[in-house]
Amino acid sequence: MSFPIADPAALEEGTLRVTPLGGLGEIGRNMTMFEFAGKILIVDCGVLFPEEHQPGVDLILPDFEPIKNRLDDIVGVVLTHGHEDHIGAVPYLLRLKSDIPLIGSGLTLALVEAKLKEHRIKAFTLTVKEGQREQVGPFDLEFVAVNHSIPDALAVAIRTPAGMVLATGDFKMDQLPLDGRITDLRAFSRLGEEGVDLFLVDSTNADVPGFTPTERSIGPVLDQVIGKAPRRVIVASFSSHVHRVQQVLDAAAAHGRRVALLGRSMLRNMTIAEDLGYLKVPEGLLIDYKKARDLPDDQIVYMSTGSQGEPMAVLSRMANLDHAIEPGPGDTVILASSLIPGNENAVYRVIDGLTKLGANVVHKANAKVHVSGHAAAGELIYCYNILKPKNVLPVHGEYRHLMANARLAQDTGIPAERTFIGSNGTVIDLNDGEARVVGQLDLGFVYVDGSTVGEITDADLKDRRILGEEGFVSVIVVVDAGTGRIISGPEIHARGIAEDDSVFDDVVPKIIAALKEASGNGVHDTHALSQVVRRTIGRWVNQKLRRRPMIVPLVIEA
C-alpha cells in the first residue's frame, strides 16, 4: 500500500518511530530505522541487485537521505546475518561516517569486515550472540537465534519505554539444521509472554503453503548427482551459503573428488567460514582451480558463483566460453539455489547456454538441489500463534508477499487495522502498544554505477534503454550566425536502426523547411533550432519507421 507523500510531525516524547528505508515491495535493500529520544538505531543495510530494465547498474542502495543530516544520532547498526541484501550497503553508509558501530554475530561481522577492507574502511564492531542483551543508547537489544541459509543469523528484540519490537531478519524453522542451531522458539514464547508490540517479520515465502523442507534433505540429492556424474561437476550457489558448500564438500569427499572454489566472493567467504569453524573442510580436499585442470575429469568438483545469472559471475562466463573452465558434453552443472524474483530470464539464459554446450544442467525445477532459507506460511502462522503480537509490519518481500503475510496474521486473529502493509518510507509511530502510520517519506533508488554513487538517475536509465532498444540518430546542421541560413547539412547518422542512412534522405527537405520557417519567425537561438530539428525528425521517424530512437540534434553557428 502506498500512502500519500507527507512528512511526519515531530516525534513525540516517549514514542518509538519505525521507518523502513528498503526491503518493502522488493527482495533486497533491507534497512529499517528506529528512532527514540533523539537517537537512531538501524537494523540491516543491504543492497538490491539490478534487473534488466536497469542496464549498466552494479548495485542499488537504500535511500540514505532521511539520515544524512543525522549521522551523529546513529547509535548503531544491527546486522541480522551476512547476506548481501542485508549487509551489502554498509560500506556506502560508513563512507558518510566511518565510526558508526556495527553490531552482529561473529560470522556476520567477519563477512562485513572483509567487505569493508576492500573499501579501506576500518569498522567499529560489537560481536553478539544469541541470548545476549545490550544497551545501545536508549535501545535495549536482545538477540535471538534464528535458522537461515547462512549460519549465525539473529533476530533482534528492541525494547524501549514505548514498547517492544521484534525484527526476525530472514529466518525459517528448520528442525534438523546442519549445524544443529534451530530458531529459538522458547525465546519467541518468552517474548510473546512479555508482549510484542510490533512484529517485523520476513515475508519472502508467505505465499508458499506448509513448511520449508529441511536443509538435510538436499544432501542425499547432491550426493547422488555427484556420484553419478561421468565427468566434471560444477556447482553454482550463493557465495555465502556455507551449508550448501558444506554439503558439496561432503559429497565430493565421499566420491573421491577434490573441490576448487571459483569466484572472488566464494573464496573470500568460505575462507572466513573455515577460519571461524563454520565450514569443516577435510584435509587435502580443496585444490587451486589452476591445478584442478590437471586432474582427471571424474575427480573434480568446481564450486562457483553465478547461480542468479549475473553476467560477470563465473557461471555466466563459463556459459559464454569466457572462462578457463569450459563446460562440455558429459559435464554436470548444478544450480543449487532458488530464483530471486527478477532474475528468471538471466538464469534461464545461462541454463540454455550450458545445455547448448552439452552439459547436463540440474536445477531446482528438475531436482531437489535447493531449499529456501525463508519461513513458509505454516511456520509464520506458528510464530503468530506463539508471539501474539499487537501489531504486525510484514517486511522483506514484494507486494504479493507482504499481502500474503498480512492475511496470515489476520487469520490468527490480529485485527486488520493492526496489520500494516507499508512501503519504503512509511513512517509508523509506536506508543503504549498502539501503532499508527504518521507519514510517508519520498524515497528513491540510489544506483551504484561503476565508481559513481547516486549520480545515475531514472532518466539516465531511460536513455540507456532507448539506446539499447530503439537506436540512435544524430543530426548536424551548420547555420549562418547572422541570417540563420543553412550553410551545411542536415547531415544525418543512425546507429542501431536496421535501415541504411539513405532512408533519411526523405526527411532532409522537411528539416530544411522547418529551419527556414523558424528562422523567418525570428528564431535564431541554436538550442531552439535544435528542438525544431528534434521534433521534425522525431515525428518522421515515428510515422515512417515506427521507432522512437534517441535523437541528438546539433545546430552550429558559423
Encode pLDDT of 29-55 as tens digits: 999 999 999 999 999 999 987 766 666
In the block, residue with C-alpha cell 486473529:
413
Q: 464 vs 335, which has greater pLDDT?
A: 335
Average pLDDT over all residues of the chain = 88
In the block, residue with C-alpha cell 512528512:
7
Domain coordinates of the chain in residue numbers?
Answer: 16-210+372-453, 215-362, 470-557
Q: How many CB atoms neighbour CB 189 within 10 A? A: 12
Q: Which residues contact 290 (CB under 8 A, 6 or more apart)?
A: 324
Whether this prediction's pTM lies above 0.85 is answered by: no
Residue type, 247: Q
- Smallest Cα–Cα separation from 421: which of 434, 408, 431? 408
> Which pLDDT does position 205 carry in this prediction?
93
Q: Which residues contact 85 (CB under 8 A, 6 or more apart)?
A: 23, 27, 28, 29, 30, 46, 47, 48
DSSP 381-409: HHHHHHH--S-EEEESB-HHHHHHHHHHH
Residue type, 102: L
CA distance 271 to 370: 22
> pLDDT tens, 252-290?
999 999 999 988 889 999 999 999 999 999 899 999 988
Confidence of residue 341 (pLDDT cuts 50, 70, 90): low
Determine the topology of domain 215-362 in CATH: Rossmann fold (3.40.50)
Answer whether residue 307 shows pLDDT above 80: no
Same fold, 215-362 and 470-557: no
DSSP 280-334: ---TT-B--HHHHTTS-GGGEEEEES-TT--TTSHHHHHHTT-SSS---TT-EEE
Say what percent of the chain tops pLDDT 70: 92
| CATH of the structural domain 16-210+372-453, one choice from 3.50.7.10, 3.30.70.1230, 3.40.1160.10, 3.60.15.10 | 3.60.15.10
- Smallest Cα–Cα separation from 233: which of 330, 353, 309? 330
Pairing, β 426-431 against β 16-22: antiparallel
> Which pLDDT does position 76 carry in this prediction?
96
Cis peptide before 296, with omega less than 30 degrees from 0?
Answer: no
CATH number of 470-557: 3.10.20.580
Answer whether residue 132 shows pLDDT above 90: yes
Identify each DSSP E strand in 51-153 by its residue range: 59-61, 74-78, 102-104, 125-127, 133-136, 139-145
